[in-house]
Structure 1
Amino acid sequence: MTGNWQKVTFTNSRRLTLAGLLYGSPRETGDIVIHCHGFTGGKEGGGKALELGTELGRRGWSTLLFDFAGNGESEGDFSDLTLSGQVDDLTCAVDWLFQQGYKRVVTVGRSFGGSTVICQGARDPRVAGVCTWAAPARLLELFSSFTDEPVDGRQEEMITMAGEGGLIYLKKGFFHDLKLYDIPADAARLTPRPLLIIHGTQDSVVPPDDARLIFNAAGEPRELIWIKEGDHQFTRHYHQVWNILFEWLDRHFKQPTP
């Protein structure tokens, strides 16, 4: 499949317009991967997500990249970010893709986007399979470690967190909302749809133990692939991660040649 990236928009249930990039069309393939960025990230993934989507196109898959509300080019205030909001954004992306004529959707999520695809897939049987890259399982513990301030309090109160690019400001509602989710329990709800978990052994942001928690809770078919010496960003190993994804997609979703 050959083509170009095109800018697209769709709306979430909070009536915010989300910005996306689509590679391919339902006329070329009924299969599409939604690639979800991580915390404070963006749809382009520094260019790597675009490169990956183009390669997926060569392998017969369309790709949708989009910015979660409050990130990148999408509407919304980052301080209003919640996991529930991201689950809704992703569900609305799935809605929109089926309206466009796609027949099968697989979700891939990096870091907090990985937690999001697990939670969304557990609630949306239309998702055919889920893949996570360096996804945290213990969200409240992880995000509480990014701040010295108490995370309890009124939902509208602001909290300051340390991020890769400097200070981040979120409402305490973010932490209230995290308490509504149990990532391993949601992973268990994905079966019998396939789940692929990829994690670096040298991840200094999300402990590798989190990948094991998700894997142990999940039903079959499930796979946990360790990237030896891999960091949180898979800086020197991202092509290895891509090849693992391609092989998994071929094995579980490849259509027989007519």
Structure 2
Amino acid sequence: MAGIEQALTFKDPAGHAVSGILASPSHDSDRLAVLSHGFLSNKNSHTNKTLSELLVPQGIATFRFDFFGQGESEGPFERITVSLAVSQALAALDLMSSKGYRKLALVGSSFGGLVSILAAAKWPQLVCLALKCPVPDFPEMLQLEFGETGMARWKATDTIPNVVPGGSGRIKLAYAFYEDSLCYSGYDAAKVVTAPTLIVQGAHDEYVPPRQILKLSESLGGPNS
């Protein structure tokens, strides 16, 4: 990748340390995309690294970071919530704005897609929004994935199946994550997003119902494709 990578650590509003990597072109640029990874992933996901490799040579810097309790960021994963993740995405935007980047974009994958929609609704100056397999209705996706019995077990044990490809057993995640997610609608947030928005979605996605993506596209307040 042509450019320079710099490790950065910043604080979210609650004081948690958040680990990130700023990838900059070799020449000055005021354009940057904040990259939000998926659930049980990290800042160095294949998607994030590929996007950096594509964008930086085009003069667009990227800033990829680890959500709470994932990768190198502070905190136990079991205590992550949608609220916390959104606050970290907004803190990342604030940090990059303070560094002189004036044309900011958000790019989010899966869970990071939902977070990016919610953050975009609170950041009206955003230049554009790009979403890969976003989950605008995370509670519904969780209900469909785990079923009634699985949801009850989650509530009783604060654990979920390890949904990482090739993973096994169960991992700790407080049921409060689900309860917090009920407070957010990606559709409602999309209605106030005026930035041009690109959605990339696979026709055979195993997790995100196609109707969610269609409804999201119809809900967006700005140009979208």
TM-score under structure 1 length normalisation: 0.79
C-alpha RMSD over aligned residues? 2.1
1:4-52 alpha-carbon deviations (Å, 9 max, x no partner): 2111111101111111111116971001011110000111114x42232
Q: CA deviation at 1:208?
A: 2.0
SS at match of 2:152: coil
Give distance in 1, aligned partners of 2:8 and 2:25.
12
1:194 aligns with 2:196: yes
Which residue identity is paired with 1:9? T
Q: Distance between the aligned counterparts of 1:202 and 1:103, measured in 2?
A: 37
Alignment of 1:95-114 (within 5 A): 95-114=94-113
Corresponding residue of 1:82: 81
What amino acid sits opposite 1:180 in the alignment? C
Q: Could you tell me which residue of structure 1 aligns to residue 158 of structure 2?
A: 158
> What residue ranges of structure 1 are gaps of 5+ in the alignment?
224-258
Equivalent position to 1:172, from 161, 175, 184: 175
Distance 2:161 2:145 in 1: 5
CA contact under 8 A between 1:18 and 1:69: conserved in structure 2?
yes
Map of 2:51 onto structure 1? 52
Per the TM alignment, residue 199 of structure 1 is displaced from its structure 2 partner at its CA by 0.4
Residue of structure 1 in register with 2:222 after alignment: 220
Looking at structure 2, the residues matched to 23 and 43 of structure 1 have their Cα atoms a distance apart, in angstroms, of: 12
In 2, Cα distance between equivalents of 1:37 and 1:26: 25
Deviations 1:119-143 (A, max 9, x none): 1111122322211100112211111
1:127 aligns with 2:129: no
User: What is the aligned partner in structure 1 of residue 14 from structure 2?
Assistant: 14
Summarize deviations over 1:172-211 as a string: whole Å, max 9, x none: 11111111111111111102x1111110101111122211
Q: Is the 8 A contact 1:37 1:111 kept in 2?
A: yes
Q: Which amino acid aligns with 2:104?
A: V
**Of the two structures, which has the highest relative contact order with CA contacts closer than 8 Å and spacing of 6 or more?**
2
Distance 1:79 1:90 in 2: 19
Query: Does 2:3 match 1:3?
Result: yes
Q: Match of 1:202, as an amino acid?
A: H
TM-score scaled to structure 2, two decimals?
Answer: 0.90
Aligned equivalent of 1:71: 70
Give, in whole Å, the separation in 2 of the partners of 1:130 and 1:151.
36
Q: Any unmatched runs of 5+ in structure 2?
A: none
Identity of aligned residues (%): 27
